[in-house]
């Protein structure tokens, strides 16, 4: 039986992860409309990852015989000034998700819920990777975004990204 606060935070995280998927779908839409199919692909894969993160939290609660309450998913922000604004919004969002994971971890630690802490270890590592990826995209755009040929090459590079499902064992 999970602690009430830990359970509530884990359940809430399901919705937050689905929102992340919606947000990244919106980013993918933005780049597709700009003709940057590689960027659109990169964010489509991000959306798939976030959806799977939601399912991992969902399955964890199910595996612990805890009730799940699904909430409405908020509309993602839109109307970005430019491509860099989208990339920076992505980094800001990943930092927010990291704070959410840290809050759940802290709540689990407080009640000595080692099983949940072990489950969250993967997400802590994943968030480090997500922040690095978001920072790298910003750095590359700062370096190459103003040069059309370089932007084309970066777009091609991002188009090669393929989806790999998480290998977390619950």
Phi-psi region of 77 (alpha: psi -120 to 50; beta: other; left: phi over 0): beta
Q: Could you give the angle at the alpha carbon of 163 between the alpha carbons of 138 and 144, nearest 5°?
A: 25
**Residue 93 has what pLDDT?**
98
Asked if 27 and 46 touch (Cβ cutoff 8 Å), the reply is: yes
**Residue 170 has what pLDDT?**
57
**Residue 168 has what pLDDT?**
62
Q: Could you give the angle at the alpha carbon of 16 between the alpha carbons of 13 and 18, nearest 5°?
A: 110
Among residues 96, 124, 114, the alpha carbon closest in space to that of 23 is found at 96
**Residue 145 has what pLDDT?**
80
Q: Divide the 170 residues of the chain into consecutive groups of 10 and give the mean pLDDT of each group.
A: 96 98 98 96 97 97 97 93 96 98 98 98 96 96 89 91 76
**Residue 65 has what pLDDT?**
97
Cα–Cα distance measured from residue 146 to residue 162, given in angstroms and rounded to the nearest whole number: 26
Q: Could you give the angle at the alpha carbon of 154 between the alpha carbons of 126 and 32, nearest 5°?
A: 85
**Residue 1 has what pLDDT?**
84
Would you tell me how many other CB atoms lie within 10 Å of the CB of residue 92?
10
Structure tokens at 44: 């489509």
Exposure on the CB side of residue 99, measured as CA atoms within 13 A:
6
Task: Please give the model's pTM, rounded to 2 decimal places.
Answer: 0.93
**What sign has the CA pseudo-torsion 80, 82, 83, 89?**
negative
Identify the DSSP state of 145. Answer: T
In order of their start, the domains of the chain are: 4-159 (1.20.1260.10)
């Amino acid at each position: 039986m999970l602690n009430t606060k830990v359970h509530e935070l884990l359940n809430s995280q399901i919705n937050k992860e689905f929102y992340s998927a919606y947000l990244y779908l919106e980013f993918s839409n933005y780049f597709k409309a700009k003709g940057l199919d590689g960027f659109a692909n990169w964010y489509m894969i991000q959306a798939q990852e976030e959806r799977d993160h939601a399912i991992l939290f969902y399955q964890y609660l199910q595996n612990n015989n805890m009730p799940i309450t699904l909430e409405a998913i908020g509309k993602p922000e839109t109307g970005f000034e430019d491509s860099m604004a989208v990339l920076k919004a992505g980094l800001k969002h990943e930092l927010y998700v990291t704070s959410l994971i840290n809050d759940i971890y802290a709540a689990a630690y407080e009640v000595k819920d080692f099983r949940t802490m072990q489950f969250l270890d993967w997400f802590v590592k994943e968030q480090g990777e997500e922040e690095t990826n978001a920072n790298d995209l910003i750095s590359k755009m700062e370096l190459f975004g103003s040069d059309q040929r370089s932007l084309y090459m970066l777009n091609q590079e991002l188009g090669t990204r393929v989806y790999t499902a998480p290998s977390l064992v619950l």
